[in-house]
Structure 1
């Protein structure tokens, strides 16, 4: 940061931009533009190697966002116009704020359902049924595809991976293929729902695609999941997992009520947006009020349950013990701060002029179909969130069908590499040594076949 300020002192001798005050300056050929690209690349390289460096991914992008905007502000201040920078930062911060509170409510509900044992009960049921390896492969994949549109692809993948690790103990070949299948299925399921992935949520909140229009991507997403699964199943081991003493798990009091409140929250957010033209985040915040009021009801019952008892309120044996603020505190704060860094950093690059430059080349020279297909390949290498935010910021002129295409490719393209999606990265840590980068890479051609098939089906069905 100090070096940036020192460069700012030398700005009169280094500046090349000569736009008049009140106008956006093209800084793509300016030293600030080159420095901003370098800062972003370094920060994102650190994000990619998060597992190896043991450094949270939010840290480098938070700093990168600050450095990029400080450099831009120095240039504009030198040219006598700081108002444009302030307005641009406020605009990008508003983009993040809507996403932040939307995700915070969703994460709170997911944490509440985890604490009430909803997903643990599902895991126990699958384990106790004694399915064969092939049946478990298809069940975990199908459930990932069905649950991820509501619970998001990351949470879904983690739940299914827990099942796979229990039933696949001693069978690393099964664990590897089943985890790959879960990553592909969770990403595919998340692609046809505004709640299934951060990228689809961004597209919906931006108003580019309406809520029910996402379901036009159901068939292409299903194809994306089925094509590689049909091929991978032939590499599964035969037989079934050995029977073990797996205890049955019961859900805690109020678990199904909280599931119902979460569905009601989704309905509220959709209704607010569709019928009242209110941003979906306001519906989600209303849904948080539902959970808080129900938490108050549980708290009252907890006090009644403990009256006359030696156990203090809040003890572990209390079936009504529920604190909504604990669920908020357990949100994925590193992920939320990562989104802040990405949105502000990419917004800074856009303000400099790089996104307009990229849009003119990709969507102008290559055309929307080729560009949108390349978005999927890019999201397999770089996280799909900055890629989709860049596309939304560029806002290229293209048909509604093309917007659906880029939503699809950004959502499922990350499945081609284990590092291409949050689900893949999380499972590499959860199933360490069994689900690996190179184990996934071996099946990349098959997954790419499903990627191509889903695009072909989309262009055929949604023309």
Structure 2
């Protein structure tokens, strides 16, 4: 295990956070210490990310330790800070409880969904329909991409991971795992029901058609990272050629899987809370099939880890982004690999002036560059613990950041940068009329 900062990737992470943090306008005045213009919260957050990268066997404890350190610094140096207000909301601030509770429900719920899908025996017969060489791996990535267009990217990644576990005989290359996450994030980037960030845009008033051209970049990226990852996987472990004999699909279990997905989409559309639909469907499905409740225990560590990291990211004092431009959006893709893309998207919506399709692709796909950069990656790591190494993820999944850069500029060349006007009115209180004092007579 690497325990020094000599590795160029480690120095790069520190450099990235150090360069980006001062580029944000920081929160209201406080007595928070700063080093070189970088406030203590950013330094603690960078240290947490570095700890996750170095000691991937202890990610949950590092995440919780980093959160505790940030909270202590807030209470020591920010006079009006309240964790309760941060979570539940207060005047002029929307609390984080909805995002966190929804994410908890989805991570646990989709762990059960993936197990239902695995036990339905459908993955066992898929080798009959997938090509026998590298093309089989590529077709599977395309399937994940398509599924994610109308389903949350967490579920798409979990379903893809469950299929890969079977068709590759339990030997899945880390580069291919990175591609599974990238396919799920890319597939959701152009659909307002396929990713939390695009759903957030939709709820805030962005026209769904204004994010659709994200698929220009997403499609190019899929071809680039998909081909490389498929060759990696084929060399590491070729797809199983023949399905086992005598396999019978458990259609009632597949029906529960379908019911969970339908309820997730419905409650996401009507309530902006897909976790409610997922758990209603799971509990109703438990009346029909045996539910693998043991998966909740298996998903606990990864879920706590992500909750700690997302909460820590939401506490960063970011009030304003640099001026909206294609260059800012391009770098936001890299920021989303280490910084929660939900608060980034909220800031962009408040600021306005972005090309929403370009932004949706950048913040949606950018999290694929690191395993903890998106909830889909964290969820998949519960199934494949060996993926919890940032160094190995970057080393073997190098094709994901390369695909991001190339496809981003292909999108700019084909559709350009067309910033949209503010999609909601901003009301400014008019100044009170000045009344001249009566003259003395």
Q: TM-score, normalised to structure 2's length? A: 0.68
- The residue that corresponds to 1:255 in the other structure is 254
Q: Is structure 2 residue 362 aligned with structure 1 residue 409?
A: yes
- The residue that corresponds to 1:280 in the other structure is 272
Change (3 A) 1:267 1:27: same
**Cα distance in structure 1, aligned partners of 2:400 and 2:40:** 38
**Cα distance in structure 2, aligned partners of 1:65 and 1:334:** 21
Alignment of 1:58-73 (within 5 A): 58-73=63-78
**What displacement does 1:219 show?**
3.7
Change (3 A) 1:233 1:456: farther
Which of 217, 222, 225 lines up with 1:225 in the alignment?
Answer: 222
Q: Which range is displaced more, 329-338 or 187-196?
A: 329-338
The answer to whether the Cα contact below 8 Å between 2:368 and 2:377 also exists between their aligned partners in 1 is yes
Alignment of 1:23-42 (within 5 A): 25-27=28-30, 30=33, 34-42=39-47
**Cα distance in structure 2, aligned partners of 1:94 and 1:392:** 11
Number of matched residues? 383
Q: Is structure 2 residue 180 aligned with structure 1 residue 182?
A: yes
C-alpha deviations, 1:257-282, integer Å up to 9, x for none?
44135314422431x3xxxxxx512x
The answer to whether the Cα contact below 8 Å between 2:218 and 2:361 also exists between their aligned partners in 1 is yes
- The residue that corresponds to 2:140 in the other structure is 140
**Cα distance in structure 2, aligned partners of 1:117 and 1:379:** 30
The answer to whether the Cα contact below 8 Å between 1:64 and 1:345 also exists between their aligned partners in 2 is no
**What displacement does 1:236 show?**
8.1
C-alpha deviations, 1:392-443, integer Å up to 9, x for none?
24755323x523322210111234456654555746745799x753222267
Which of 290, 293, 298 lines up with 1:321 in the alignment?
Answer: 290
Change (3 A) 1:430 1:339: closer
Unaligned runs of 5+ in 1: 1-23, 77-81, 273-278, 299-319
Report the RMSD for the aligned CA atoms in angstroms. Answer: 4.4
- The residue that corresponds to 2:16 in the other structure is none
**What displacement does 1:372 show?**
0.9
Change (3 A) 1:269 1:117: closer
C-alpha deviations, 1:149-204, integer Å up to 9, x for none?
4554345335434544555569x8x9466445433322211323455444445545
- The residue that corresponds to 1:267 in the other structure is 266
Q: Is structure 2 residue 103 aligned with structure 1 residue 103?
A: yes
The answer to whether the Cα contact below 8 Å between 2:153 and 2:188 also exists between their aligned partners in 1 is yes
- The residue that corresponds to 1:441 in the other structure is 398
Q: TM-score, normalised to structure 1's length? A: 0.65
Unaligned runs of 5+ in 2: 1-26, 421-441
Query: Which protein shows a greater Rg?
Result: 1
- The SS at the match of 1:131 is coil
Alignment of 1:218-367 (within 5 A): 218-229=215-226, 241=239, 243=241, 246=244, 248=247, 250-251=249-250, 253-270=252-269, 272=270, 279-281=271-273, 284-285=275-276, 288-295=279-286, 297-298=287-288, 320-322=289-291, 326=293, 329=296, 332-338=299-305, 340-350=307-317, 355-356=318-319, 359=321, 362-363=322-323, 367=324
The answer to whether the Cα contact below 8 Å between 1:191 and 1:197 also exists between their aligned partners in 2 is yes
**Cα distance in structure 2, aligned partners of 1:83 and 1:378:** 25
**What displacement does 1:449 show?**
1.6
Change (3 A) 1:119 1:156: farther
C-alpha deviations, 1:83-138, integer Å up to 9, x for none?
88864554289633212333344345434433433675342122244622132122
The answer to whether the Cα contact below 8 Å between 2:117 and 2:254 also exists between their aligned partners in 1 is yes
Q: Is structure 2 residue 336 aligned with structure 1 residue 397?
A: no
**Cα distance in structure 1, aligned partners of 2:206 and 2:44:** 33
Change (3 A) 1:368 1:258: same
**Cα distance in structure 2, aligned partners of 1:201 and 1:87:** 24
The answer to whether the Cα contact below 8 Å between 1:96 and 1:340 also exists between their aligned partners in 2 is no
